[in-house]
Amino acid sequence: MDPASILLGGFASGMVLFIVSVGLSVTMGLMGFVNLAHGGFAMLGGYLIVLAMKHWGLSFVAALALAFCAIAAFSVVLERLLYSRLYRAQELDQVLFTIGLVFIMTAAVTLGVGPETQVIRLPDWLRGQTNLGFMTYRTYSLALIVVGTLIMLGLWLGFERTRYGARIRAAVDNRRMAQSMGVDVGRLFTVAFALGSGLAALGGGLGAEILGLDPNYPLRYLVYFLIVVAVGGLGKVSGVFFAALLIGVLDFVLKIYFPKGGTIFIYALTLILLLARPQGLFGKKGA
């Protein structure tokens, strides 16, 4: 079997996982808030993109931009109205609240748009094959790899090279110390939350070609998002990136060689990994 095409295929689905999950990693690392509704924002973003293209005639790129902004804004409203009330609550309460939110999102989408799978009509320049010189491969997968890498670089620079990024890293490492140094963690969280949700929306739209898009999306992929975050380590952008790629490639390879229920190996590997390194592959010890 051709290893290059397996790698490219796996990278492409890994990139989608990365774009959707990175926000979850940051917000969970920052506030310790277990936001199981994160995939819901991805789904809402995906639907917004499909509907904007179908009914308002927006281009794919314009629809992506719209979904990023709209879902980021929407998530801030939810954060201020609902999430902020549960910051000091127990984890179980947070889990119950966010799962409830997922049910509401799923039901709302079923009611408003319908239960069927939504299909994104990609622009012509993203369809078909591209010749890389040494091989030809699916254009859209290559585009996903480029976009995912760009987002990764952008986030990494933002985290490592800006004051805001430094504050976020400080707050993830030691929230109380950061607070006592005058960092407004609440504000920081709102911004990180909006960014994470916006990115999830992008992931929902970009990934629809690969992960599909229907009202059960948030629950179906929840486990994958959580595995990526757990393996990557909380609040570590690069960790989430490599974990997503790892899981994307593994899942792809297992589906090729063990198409019948190959995913069980992913769960088994995650289990073993977390037993050996509870902080994740790339997380810091004791975090």
Closer to another protein by CB, 158 or 262: give it. Answer: 262
In angstroms, rounded to a whole number, what is the distance separating the alpha carbons of residues 7 and 15? Answer: 12
How many Cβ atoms from other residues are within 10 Å of residue 280's Cβ?
Answer: 22
Q: Could you give the residue ranges of the DSSP H alpha helices within 82-129?
A: 91-112
Count of residues in contact with another protein, rule CB under 8 A? 35
Closer to another protein by CB, 68 or 140: give it. Answer: 140
Residue 88 in contact with another protein, rule: CB under 8 A: no
Minimum gap (Å) between residue 164 Cβ and another protein:
35
Of 133, 182, 259, 286, which lies in the binding site for another protein, with binding defined by CB under 8 A? 259
DSSP category for residue 281: S
Residue 96 in contact with another protein, rule: CB under 8 A: no
95 Cβ contact partners less than 8 Å away, ≥ 6 residues apart: 34, 36
In angstroms, rounded to a whole number, what is the distance separating the alpha carbons of residues 182 and 220? Answer: 40
Residue 140 in contact with another protein, rule: CB under 8 A: yes
Minimum gap (Å) between residue 252 Cβ and another protein:
5
Minimum gap (Å) between residue 286 Cβ and another protein:
38
DSSP element (H, E) containing 131: strand 129-131
Q: How far is CA 144 from CA 71, 138, 278, in A?
A: 21, 10, 30
Binding site for another protein (CB under 8 A): 1-2, 5-6, 9, 12-13, 110, 114-117, 119, 127-129, 136, 138-141, 209-212, 214, 216, 220, 252-253, 255-257, 259-260
